[in-house]
Amino acid sequence: MAEKEKEEKGKEEKEEENKNKNENENGNKNKNREKPPEGLSKEELKEWARKKAEERRKLREAKKGEETKEKKTETKTETETKKEKKIYTNPLADRLRERFKEELSDISVDDPLRVSAFVDPSKVKEVMKILKEEFGLDHLMDVSGVDALKLQGADPNTFWVVYHLTSYDNPTILTLKAVIPRDNPQIDSIIGIYWNANWYERETFELFGIVFNGHPKLKALFLEDEDIGQWPLRKDSPAYPNPNNTQR
């Protein structure tokens, strides 16, 4: 019984506290609200009240606008922070820097499992052999070409031969880029190191006109013989897909 009385008493005290709080808040609002000048007629009083209501409305809108502006600024700052390039590390990148001081350049870790670098085109066979035998990169994923004619920050008079390597035991992917001259696009074939380079090099040859020296059968993979020489993925080729797209 005593516990019930105690509970009811606590409830009453809480209700009284809330009541006093509401009265204080209402009293402060009324206290802060400007009183109309004395001696106004009924119509003048209505006009005065209308103007004050309009002023309060404009103040609320201005305050809301400032809050929205601050929120947008905060959101923009958060977005810019997210866009900042993160710095990743990968042990493969450290090993490459140590082993290939002259053959590789601009070694970077683009993602926890993605490493990229530029390779000296005259040393590509030597580097590939070491990567397979010493680094365990036993899987050639592909060989492709890039026409740097409209590539931002690149020499427009070059092609890039791009290699993707990985290992069946390690998910890290290594991207190697060899820059070769546009007027004499040649590089050594790596078919003697990675047998599946056969088809990749043939496809790159027929699409870009890049010659892979030492390839035993460098002929078109998909195109007809009469189409050889059009090099459809060169960006200055009439056959290039959507020639108005400068981002490709």
Cα(89)–Cα(145) distance, integer angstroms? 27
Report yes or no on 226 lying in a domain: no
- Which residues lie below 8 Å from residue 180, measured CB to CB, with a gap of 6+? 121, 158, 159, 160, 161, 186, 187, 210
pLDDT value of position 154: 94
CATH code, 117: 3.30.460.80
Q: Express each pLDDT in 153-203 by its tens digit.
A: 999 999 999 999 999 999 999 999 999 999 999 999 999 999 999 999 999
- Domain total in the chain: 1
Q: Indicate the range of 83-97, 142-156, 231-245 predicted with least confidence.
A: 231-245
pLDDT value of position 248: 46
Report yes or no on 206 lying in a domain: no
Task: Report the Cα–Cα distance between both ends of the chain, in Å, rounded.
Answer: 84
Token pair in block for residue 184: 């004499």
Average pLDDT over residues 17-36: 58
Of 71-75, 77-81, 138-142, 226-230, give the range with the top mean pLDDT: 138-142
Token pair in block for residue 245: 């797209």
pLDDT value of position 61: 81
Report yes or no on 33 lying in a domain: no
Report yes or no on 150 lying in a domain: yes
Report yes or no on 167 lying in a domain: yes
Cα atoms in the Cβ-side hemisphere of radius 13 Å centred on 159: 24
Report yes or no on 4 lying in a domain: no
Structural domain range at position 99: 91-195
Q: Express each pLDDT in 205-215 by its tens digit.
A: 999 999 999 99
Report yes or no on 243 lying in a domain: no
Q: Is 108 a residue whose pLDDT tops 60?
A: yes
What does the buried/exposed string (b/e) look like for 61-96 if buried means 16 or more CB atoms within 10 Å of the residue's CB? Answer: eeeeeeeeeeeeeeeeeeeeeeeeeeeeebebbeeb
- Which residues lie below 8 Å from residue 16, measured CB to CB, with a gap of 6+? none
Report yes or no on 124 lying in a domain: yes
